[in-house]
């Protein structure tokens, strides 16, 4: 359904105020992946990794600088209009709707733009409102909607024309936990209805719970691909030790990284304290050695656990 081969995208811009110099930014550096029919495929990566640029090339809003991509067997450069008829695109955030108008006005307009015939429009709008749980609120102006409601309206807009493939670009960003859970249910419903979905997100648990397969993208390259279970297993046969500490300096972190069996050390700043997430390979118990290297540092809670997808993700992204 979706196929990207050595896809690249470079942005050309300028830098400097008086003497402007050309600047090239490589956002996507030759990525290759495929998505099967009915699959929910996740593109996981940090900000600026190239997720949105990849989606924009696939939905024909950006031309690739090199490589090729096909959606539903159609070329994203030459068959743009045909692809647009058969795909849906939803992005996260507050924007993308006519705020001063009602949800119904918005949906009617986009139904017209997506070629939903006059007779089918009312029925289809009712169906999508029901699917996203906005039935009864459609006459209200969008400016009065909560972020979660707007996001559900975005999804309704994106699937009005019953597309075969749906692209969801960080659809739960900024949505409260209850709203995000409802959105994830809506996304699951889309897949259950037979849609092929490409989802970008940086929420690990979201990717873990929703996606059939995931590609981890960092600095414009795919650094890992597989099912959530494969990714977790592929990165670790070991364990994760979390150490709460106060005032850890770079030298101490370097010492931890040099310990035999330590594969990665990630430092998360949490107010006055830091959380050291240490990934180790094999089954060897390293807690005592780790604490010895932190001699002189005030240490709080220490815990050891199984690796999660987030650990796999951090290991892949930081290894780049």
Partner 1 sequence: MTRGLRVFWTGFVLHFKNLSASPFMMTTAAIWPLVYATLAFLMFRATHQAPSLLYAALGAAVMGIWSTTATSAGGAIQQQRWYGILEILVAAPTRLILVLAPITVAIAGIGIYSVCSTLLWGRLLFGVPLHVSHPLLFAVAIPAAVLSIGLLGLVLASTFVVYRSAQHLSQALEYPIWTITGMLIPLSLLPGWITPVAWALAPTWGMRAVRHAALGGDVGVPLLACLGLSAAYTLLAMLLLHHFERLARERATLSLT
State the residues that interact with partner 1 by CB under 8 A: 11-12, 56, 59-63, 81-82, 84-85, 89, 91, 93, 95-101, 105, 108-110, 112-115, 118, 157
CB-CB contact of 67 with 75 (8 Å): no
CB 284 to partner 1: min, Å: 47
Residue closer to partner 1 by CB (options 41, 89) is 89
Residue closer to partner 1 by CB (options 139, 272) is 139
Residue closer to partner 1 by CB (options 1, 231) is 1
The sign one gets for the Cα dihedral 182, 129, 162, 49 is negative
CB 30 to partner 1: min, Å: 18
CA distance 159 to 124: 10
CB 109 to partner 1: min, Å: 5
CA distance 27 to 50: 5
Residue closer to partner 1 by CB (options 114, 145) is 114
Residue closer to partner 1 by CB (options 65, 287) is 65
CA distance 168 to 170: 6
CB 96 to partner 1: min, Å: 4
Indicate the helix (H) or strand (E) that contains 178. Answer: helix 177-192
Please give the DSSP secondary-structure letter assigned to residue 310: H
Task: State whether residue 133 is helix, strand or coil.
Answer: coil
Task: State whether residue 112 is helix, strand or coil.
Answer: helix
CB 114 to partner 1: min, Å: 6
Residue closer to partner 1 by CB (options 117, 272) is 117
Per DSSP bridges, beta strands 196-201 and 40-44 are: parallel
Please give the DSSP secondary-structure letter assigned to residue 102: B
Residue closer to partner 1 by CB (options 57, 276) is 57
Indicate the helix (H) or strand (E) that contains 73. Answer: none
CB 91 to partner 1: min, Å: 7
**Longest CA–CA separation in the chain, Å:** 75
CB 28 to partner 1: min, Å: 12
Residue closer to partner 1 by CB (options 98, 289) is 98
Helices in 200-282 by DSSP H: which ranges?
A: 204-210, 228-235, 250-257
Per DSSP bridges, beta strands 298-305 and 239-246 are: antiparallel
**Residue in 257, 247, 243 with CA at minimum distance from that of residue 302:** 243
CB 145 to partner 1: min, Å: 14
Residue closer to partner 1 by CB (options 160, 214) is 160
- Calculated CA dihedral for residues 139, 140, 142, 146, nearest 10 degrees: -130
Per DSSP bridges, beta strands 239-246 and 87-91 are: unpaired
Number of other CB atoms surrounding residue 37 within 10 Å: 12
CB 59 to partner 1: min, Å: 6
């Amino acid at each position: 359904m979706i196929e990207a081969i050595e896809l690249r995208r470079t942005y050309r811009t300028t830098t400097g105020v008086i003497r402007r110099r050309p600047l090239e930014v490589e956002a996507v550096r030759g990525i290759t992946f495929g998505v099967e029919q009915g699959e929910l495929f996740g593109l996981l990566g940090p900000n600026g990794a190239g997720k949105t640029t990849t989606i924009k090339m696939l939905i024909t809003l950006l031309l690739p600088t090199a490589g090729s991509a096909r959606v539903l067997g159609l070329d994203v450069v030459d068959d743009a209009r045909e692809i647009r008829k058969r795909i849906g695109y939803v992005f996260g955030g507050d924007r993308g709707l006519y705020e001063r108008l009602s949800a119904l006005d918005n949906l009617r307009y986009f139904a017209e733009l997506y070629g939903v015939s006059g007779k089918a429009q009312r029925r289809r709008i009712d169906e999508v409102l029901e699917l996203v749980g906005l039935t009864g609120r459609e006459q209200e102006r969008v400016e009065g909607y909560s972020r979660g409601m707007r996001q559900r309206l975005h999804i309704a807009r994106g699937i009005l024309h019953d597309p075969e493939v749906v692209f969801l670009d960080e659809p739960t960003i900024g949505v409260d936990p209850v709203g995000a859970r409802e959105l994830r249910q809506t996304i699951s419903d889309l897949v259950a209805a037979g849609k092929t979905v490409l989802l970008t997100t940086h929420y690990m648990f979201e990717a873990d719970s929703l996606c059939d397969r995931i590609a981890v993208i960092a600095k414009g390259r795919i650094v890992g691909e597989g099912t959530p279970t494969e990714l977790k297993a592929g990165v670790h046969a070991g364990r994760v030790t979390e150490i709460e500490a106060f005032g850890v300096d770079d030298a101490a972190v370097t010492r931890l990284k040099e310990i035999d069996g330590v594969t990665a050390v990630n430092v998360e700043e949490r107010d006055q304290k830091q959380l050291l997430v240490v990934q180790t390979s094999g089954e060897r118990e390293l807690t005592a050695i780790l604490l010895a290297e932190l001699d002189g540092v005030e240490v709080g809670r220490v815990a050891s656990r199984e690796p999660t997808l987030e650990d796999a993700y951090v290991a892949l992204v930081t290894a780049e």
